[in-house]
Structure 1
Amino acid sequence: MTHITTIVIALKTLTLALGGLITYFAFKAYRRTGSPALRSLAIGFGVVTLGAFLAGVADQALNMNRETVLIIESGLTAIGFAAIAYSLYAE
């Protein structure tokens, strides 16, 4: 395992921990208030976090092509950010 691989794994782990925490608190706020905007926010952060997780699994465990991994992560990040942007406009 190279130093770069170790750094990437550490950063992905930090991303998963922080993304999971943000998703949890956004979902908790949604459950408390029932606000559709907070639901969209929780979904958005959850999808972004899921993208980071799936990209890490595809890269490290499944040894998938790096270009495919990048497409998976970028696609889920874009979908997650779209949900987050929507949450800013939802009533």
Structure 2
Amino acid sequence: MNDYALFIAAANTATVRTGGAVALLASRAFRRTGSAALRAVAVGFGTIVGGSVLGGGVHLLGGAVALGVVLQSTVTAVGFGILLYSLYTETAAVTERTKISI
């Protein structure tokens, strides 16, 4: 293990927890609304989280820090591409919201 292993593990843990929470919330919102943009957000964040897990696993199990960084960075770039796509996706299904008075 190198001197940065603890910091890499902490950063990947934070990425998995926060990115996973965003992906879960976007997925729930997609199921509720049917919005293709929200589906793309969920897939994009899920991809970023998957890249973090993949890169961390390669580093932890294989001991190859450089390969882990390359894999994580590549998958993160793909995830951000999916998020960029979500900003340009047309909303296909719009649901009516019920106004609730308190």
What TM-score comes out, normalization by structure 1 length? 0.90
Structure with higher Rg: it is: 2
Q: What do the CA deviations read for 1:14-56 (whole angstroms, capped 9, x no partner)?
A: 1111011010001010000000010001000000111011100
Point out where structure 2 has 5 or more consecutive residues left out of the alignment. Answer: 91-102
Deviant stretches of 4+, over 6 Å:
none
Q: Percent identity?
A: 37
What TM-score comes out, normalization by structure 2 length? 0.81
Give the aligned CA root-mean-square deviation in angstroms: 1.4
Q: 1:87 corresponds to which residue?
A: 86
Q: 1:16 corresponds to which residue?
A: 16
Following superposition, the deviation at residue 3 of structure 1 comes to 5.3
**Higher helix fraction: Structure 1 or Structure 2?**
1
5 Å-filtered alignment, 1:29-68, equals 29-63=29-63, 65-68=64-67
Q: 1:70 corresponds to which residue?
A: 69
Cα distance in 2 for partners of 1:52, 1:2 equals 18
